[in-house]
Structure 1
């Protein structure tokens, strides 16, 4: 079954806005448009689901802290670089 030109346009627009939608960066009206499209489009909904899973995985990975020794070396290196450019 082929998509209508309007459906293709809707998918293109929804996919272009997915990242902002995932991060709650769209205005209420645009978010509602994306949400409505996702409710009707299985392919875009699946892509949104993948985006949610990747976002959750990245957020979980970002909660890990570097070992204190590495953090201290990095901060020392940053301070030295800043001092040499001042």
Structure 2
């Protein structure tokens, strides 16, 4: 394997985070990050952001807040008709 370099690692980081690369490309990026503090730091940030988004997508608003927001949206929609 050859070190892929920062340009390729950063360009394909999103796909790497979501396990969307072929085995060879993923291995190249993994090898590069093992030797590049800048790219491994970006990877860590990407992992934290991905996990935060995944957690946020699982959360739901409390029922009373949902009801309040929906009522307000209906009120605004009826005012614009």
Pair in the same fold by TM > 0.5? yes
Alignment-derived partner of residue 5 in structure 2: 10
User: Structure 1 stretches (4+) deviating beyond 4 angstroms?
Assistant: 66-70
1:64 Cα deviation (Å)?
Answer: 1.1
Between the aligned partners of 1:29 and 1:68, the Cα distance in structure 2 is 47
2:18 is equivalent to residue 47 of structure 1:
no
Greater RCO structure (CA 8 Å; 6+ sep): 2
TM-score by length of 2: 0.70
Alignment-derived partner of residue 62 in structure 1: 57
> Any unmatched runs of 5+ in structure 2?
71-81
Alignment-derived partner of residue 36 in structure 1: 31
Aligned length: 66
1:66 Cα deviation (Å)?
Answer: 4.7
1:65 Cα deviation (Å)?
Answer: 2.6
- For the aligned residue pairs, the C-alpha RMSD in angstroms reads 2.2
> Any unmatched runs of 5+ in structure 1?
1-6, 74-86
TM-score by length of 1: 0.66
